Amino acid sequence: MDLQSIKNRFGIIGNSAALNHALNVAVQVAATDLSVLIVGESGVGKEAFSHIIHALSSRKHNSFIAVNCGAIPEGTIDSELFGHEKGSFTGAVDSRKGYFETVSGGTIFLDEIGEMPIGTQARLLRVLETGEIIRVGSSKVQKTDVRVIAATNRELLEFTQTGKFREDLYYRLSTVPIRVPALRDRQEDIILLFRKFVIDFAEKYKTTPVQLDDEAKNMLINYPWKGNVRELKNIAEQISVLTTEKLISGKQLRQFLPESNVNRLPVLASSANGTSSGHEFANEREILYKLFFDMKKDVTELKKMFLEILQNPSSSHAAVAFARESLLGDYSPVSSHEYQQQHQHQPPAIQPNVINHPQPVIFDDIHHHEEVEESLNIMDKEKELIIKALKKHKGKRKDAASDLGISERTLYRKLKEYDIDE
């Protein structure tokens, strides 16, 4: 079966090289019984790849089950996956088969494998290595024949270094890794996907499919798409339902995109015919990136200079002259050490009172720099807000999640991610 037939069969849209490579790997590994680890951001369609692998395998006539490891509470996930015996824990009024027992001969898809508790990871490793399971509360070993396909939106290799994921399980699962590209990395597919979605929604809601002008297309292509294909589909549905115009302009499209992400889009430069090309947009973005990196480099150099003054007061004259010239005069990016060498026979062009009293200025600048860095640490601020919300609602997750504007499930995941003790 060729690649296009597979795309048509499973509703895969796009022709980017990264997507085609991922599909080719999935097709090649499907005929084997190897474990597969599908890696990609949330919303890229990792579950679709698990269905492709199962449907093209020798197990295609047997059971397939998808399990979201992040949605099952830690206290019950062992029972769900491996089963339990009657009386093995409170509420276990009957014996129960787990997924690995009921799906024997088929395929199990473990989504969000990075959320699986360490204890459950040890049990899963035993299944992968020996094909054996033990129900919770039992000592009887049972055989099972299940192919495991796992998926994650995390970097599991980093988790192994922090003890959140077993290294041996990681290498056992990633016998064949498949990386599904993010939507922003396959820009050539964005318009194709949008067109497919609006046609589907037009049929569903009995309307005429909307179209985009050039400005709207450029905006759609260069939007960051943090939610990937899932977010694009939601935007397409909103536009199909809420707009009366059938030709959408950039201004109209902007109303449907989250303001926080729209504001990050660089301003497009106009070409001779009044339109903006993707090449010009890319140049604008590169300039902005370079500007940010240069700013960061300058701040780093200034911080190093201030630290040198604190550690070696004798170098303060040259360093202060360097700072004054950097901030007030023509500046070329050289270090304070280089500046000192270049000006070692020249008196510093500053006022004596500035030289005699450098420390108050230095301390103010250092404290100010540290405050800027602290305010930019989003993860710390998010953790702080979660802790405040939990304290405010006396540990009630549901109320805290509602106050934060997130789901209770997301809050649960954040508590684990930041290791917040309730």
Average confidence score pLDDT of the chain:
81
Q: What whole-number percentage of the chain has pLDDT above 70? A: 72
Q: Is the pLDDT of residue 78 over 50?
A: yes
The pLDDT assigned to 313 comes to 58
> What is the arithmetic mean of pLDDT over 63-69?
96
Q: What whole-number percentage of the chain has pLDDT above 90? A: 56
**42-51 pLDDT, tens digit each:** 999 999 999 9
pTM: 0.61
Q: Is the pLDDT of residue 223 over 70?
A: yes
The pLDDT assigned to 362 comes to 44
315: pLDDT confidence band, cut at 50, 70 and 90? low
98: pLDDT confidence band, cut at 50, 70 and 90? very high
Contact residues for 149 (Cβ-Cβ < 8 A; gap 6+): 35, 36, 38, 50, 53, 54, 107, 108, 109, 110
Residue 136, SS3?
strand
The pLDDT assigned to 289 comes to 55
The pLDDT assigned to 309 comes to 67
Helices (H) and strands (E) in the chain, counts: 21, 9
The pLDDT assigned to 339 comes to 47
Q: Is the pLDDT of residue 18 over 60?
A: yes
Which residue did the predictor score with more confidence, 81 or 272? 81
> What is the arithmetic mean of pLDDT over 240-250?
92
Residue 46, SS3?
helix
> What is the arithmetic mean of pLDDT over 222-237?
95
The CATH homologous superfamily to which domain 3-181 belongs is: P-loop containing nucleotide triphosphate hydrolases (3.40.50.300)
The pLDDT assigned to 358 comes to 45
> What is the arithmetic mean of pLDDT over 359-382?
52
- Level-2 CATH architecture, domain 193-265: Orthogonal Bundle (1.10)
The pLDDT assigned to 194 comes to 96
Region of 150 on the Ramachandran plot (φ > 0 left; ψ -120 to 50 alpha; else beta):
beta
Report the alpha-carbon distance of residue 17 to residue 13 in Å, rounded. Answer: 12
All CATH 1.10.10 domain ranges in the chain, comma separated: 378-417
Residue 65, SS3?
strand
Q: Is the pLDDT of residue 276 over 60?
A: no
> What is the arithmetic mean of pLDDT over 132-137?
94
CA-CA-CA-CA torsion sign (411, 416, 419, 422): positive
The pLDDT assigned to 351 comes to 45
Residue 420, SS3?
coil
Report the alpha-carbon distance of residue 157 to residue 154 in Å, rounded. Answer: 9
> What is the arithmetic mean of pLDDT over 237-248?
92
Report the alpha-carbon distance of residue 376 to residue 4 in Å, rounded. Answer: 45
Burial 239-274 (b: 16+ CB within 10 A, else e): bbeebeeeebebebbeeebeeeeeeebbebeeeeee
The pLDDT assigned to 363 comes to 41
Report the alpha-carbon distance of residue 360 to residue 307 in Å, rounded. Answer: 14
All CATH 1.10.8.60 domain ranges in the chain, comma separated: 193-265
Which residue did the predictor score with more confidence, 356 or 395? 395
Contact residues for 109 (Cβ-Cβ < 8 A; gap 6+): 47, 50, 54, 64, 65, 66, 67, 149, 150, 151
Measured CA distances, 353 to 116, 192, 356, 359 (Å): 63, 67, 5, 12
> What is the arithmetic mean of pLDDT over 385-405?
84
342: pLDDT confidence band, cut at 50, 70 and 90? low
> What is the arithmetic mean of pLDDT over 353-357?
44
The number of angstroms, rounded, from the C-alpha of 98 to the middle of its chain's C-alpha atoms is 31
All CATH 3.40.50.300 domain ranges in the chain, comma separated: 3-181
Which residue did the predictor score with more confidence, 121 or 290? 121
Say if residues 21 and 200 touch (Cβ distance below 8 Å): no
Q: What CATH topology corresponds to 378-417?
A: Arc Repressor Mutant, subunit A (1.10.10)
